[in-house]
Structure 1
């Protein structure tokens, strides 16, 4: 019977995610991750020789998860004849709060090392550019993408200038507008 036990590398990355989401990126240390993962400091250093390598591993895993999520959303839409852009938007909007906390912390960490976000920039840029070009009005698609980005970023950064009771109607309107691009 195959084991479903996560690899040590995944255990370390899970622990790093927990430390960053709970304590912030400034508290991410090899020692904190080792304690959270219940592995030795040497075990962490074997997989990630320094904090930058650990952050890079975290971002790479997050980018892979987001890329997979976007691909699933697009595939679901195409299978049932729905507008892919709207389905991808819905997927991005519906990411959980714990993922938003981790995203905030990684965004802060990238301030010191902006190159860490290059893989995220690439996958989002490629996906959204392709989806926009598939619509009858790519300019309108890009405007909607910018609106989605702005809304997600304001939530991510805690600007809170949109009352909680208006978030869902705004989300729904953006999704509706994305669907209307195909009409």
Structure 2
């Protein structure tokens, strides 16, 4: 069973993702986590402390993802694009919650998101040896993630046209061609 601290943080993330930052009051978080308000305050003394806890979690999760990316057998670029699909993982939810907190004006969330994005790009640059190619791969993955997070990348029963469904393997072939062409002269 998750610790009370983890349940509280999970509850905060869920409320921010599902209902928005304003609804994520200390009372609402405590109720969802099944702890008293005093129990919440023992672990997180304020809403700002909850935001800091989320940002720490996001930093840890993204660092682990960058490590996997750097050691991926099929390369960092393929790993990045293949994993840019919103699947509701702990990392996905932390990213979504941080993005919502950034929109609400939380500077720590903005800084943590910037650091996360920079770490992914830096891993791609290190793997590919070329900033524009790394940026192109990053933007491809970001676009795929954005579309998936919004629910527009799916396999509907009757797609309107072939462009409605993303074939990840064919997209990875495009990544391979981009990398094979290398930096522009």
TM-score interval (norm. to shorter): 0.7 to 0.9
Contact kept in structure 2, 1:85 and 1:178, CA below 8 Å: yes
TM-score, normalization by structure 1: 0.75
Give SS of 1:55's match.
helix
- For residues 146-165 of structure 1, the aligned pairs below 5 Å read 146-156=139-149, 158=150, 160=152
Matches within 5 A, 1:1-183: 5-77=1-73, 82-91=74-83, 93-97=84-88, 100=92, 103-111=95-103, 112-135=105-128, 137-156=130-149, 158=150, 160=152, 166-169=164-167, 171-183=168-180
CA contact (8 A) 2:17 2:100 kept: no
Q: Deviations over 1:130-181 (max 9, x none)?
A: 322432543122122123223323444x395999653423x44443232334
Scaled by the length of structure 2, the TM-score of the pair is: 0.75
- Superposed CA deviations along residues 90-149 of structure 1, whole A, max 9, x for unmatched, are 12x234146556643431221211332312322331332232243254312212212322
Gap runs ≥5 in structure 2: 181-185
- Of Structure 1 and Structure 2, which has the larger fraction of its residues in helix? 1
Contact kept in structure 2, 1:15 and 1:37, CA below 8 Å: yes
Measured in 1, the distance between the counterparts of 2:75 and 2:94 equals 29
